[in-house]
Amino acid sequence: MENHQISLSIRNVSKTYINAVKALDNVSLDISPGMFGLLGPNGAGKSTLMRTLATLQEPDNGEVFLGEIDVLKQKEELRQTLGYLPQEFGVYPKSTAEELLDYFAVLKGITNRASRKEVTETLLKQTNLWDKRKQKLGGYSGGMRQRFGVAVALLGNPKLLIVDEPTAGLDPAERVRFLNLLSELGENSVVILSTHIVEDVSELCTNMAIINKGKILLEAKPQEAVAALKGRIWRKLTEKNKIAQLEKEHKVISAKLLSGRTMVHIYSKELPGNGFEPVDPDLEDVYFTTMTGNDEIR
């Protein structure tokens, strides 16, 4: 069979929990190979969608296909080609990286010892942990643990790799190493990065979607979404007590503390006056514009 690129198709997926919280509301997405960023605040439905794709929970309705595999009906087939790094990735503190990865490789069906040794070595080198392979995981830093999680997720060469909130709690240097590692993976697989951190998406992802309250608000290429806001984002440094008034007069999309004062960004097609100056938009402006309900960038 020729190696054609597999994509992921999500159609009309909904999920309501017992407490009547609608975690997913008719979600449809087409995700090609490469890095796809799913961006949204905590509680937006990201983890519910990730767990559904990873066959860990059932939606109320909808369909999901990875190439020819019907994800909701052919769970075993999907699991054979799935790599999943959940938000809370537990490790066994007394094992070494080499031992535990070998153990997980057996679970993945790599029973031949020589192949296992080769796979383990390749993955520990790829995740830059080979020098630390004899160290107990209990002594690993947060970034090292996350990279070990990726090594586990990559066993068996998955066609779908799901990474849920991977950079929360990493220091800046570890975060960069981790993101660089992820960006190398997206060549032939569908890699979904679920995060509430805008920079994770802007630095890595070729395509993205913004989700809030279970609904997809925007699906776009990050650069194109940023370009669509050109000439429409304005900023002004102001006092905190003046923000309420500005919110009455303008579409305020974000307000951030900056050395004791507040930097306000607003959305406006025309020159707003009032001391606002134009600013080159970035993905954070796209995110806040989308979240505040301005859908001109769709």
Query: Residue 213 carries which DSSP code?
Result: T
Share of the chain above pLDDT 90, in %: 66
Q: Which residues of 89-103 are buried (b: 16+ CB within 10 A; e: fewer)?
A: bebeeeebbbbbbbe
Total residue count of the chain as it appears in this document: 298
Q: Is 98's pLDDT higher than 90?
A: yes
Rounded to whole angstroms, the Cα distance separating 184 from 88 reads: 23
Question: What pLDDT is recorded for position 130?
Answer: 95
Question: Who's near 242: CB < 8 A, 6+ residues apart?
Answer: none
Rounded to whole angstroms, the Cα distance separating 190 from 178 reads: 17
Rounded to whole angstroms, the Cα distance separating 170 from 177 reads: 10
Question: What pLDDT is recorded for position 180?
Answer: 83
- Tokens 């559904």: give the residue: 52
Structure tokens at 50: 């990730």
Q: What tens digit of pLDDT does each residue of 234-257 get?
A: 999 999 899 999 999 999 999 999
Question: What pLDDT is recorded for position 243?
Answer: 92
Q: How many CA atoms does the CB half-sphere of 155 hold within 13 Å?
A: 24
Q: What tens digit of pLDDT does each residue of 196-246 get?
A: 999 989 888 999 999 999 999 999 999 999 999 999 999 999 998 999 999
Q: Is 76's pLDDT higher than 70?
A: yes
Share the mean pLDDT of the chain.
90
Question: What pLDDT is recorded for position 294?
Answer: 62
Closest CA to 25 of 17, 40, 13: 13
Question: Who's near 297: CB < 8 A, 6+ residues apart?
Answer: 218, 220, 225, 228, 229, 286, 289, 290
Closest CA to 160 of 91, 218, 225, 74: 74
Report field, pTM of the whole predicted structure over 0.75: yes
Question: What pLDDT is recorded for position 19?
Answer: 86
Question: What pLDDT is recorded for position 4?
Answer: 61
Q: Is 25's pLDDT higher than 50?
A: yes
DSSP strand pairing (215-220 vs 251-258)? unpaired
Task: Read off the pLDDT band of 1 (50, 70, 90).
Answer: very low
Task: Read off the pLDDT band of 157 (50, 70, 90).
Answer: confident
Closest CA to 46 of 222, 197, 175, 188: 197
Q: What tens digit of pLDDT does each residue of 111-125 get?
A: 899 999 999 999 999
Q: What is the CA radius of gyration of the chain?
A: 22
Q: What tens digit of pLDDT does each residue of 39-54 get?
A: 999 889 999 999 999 9
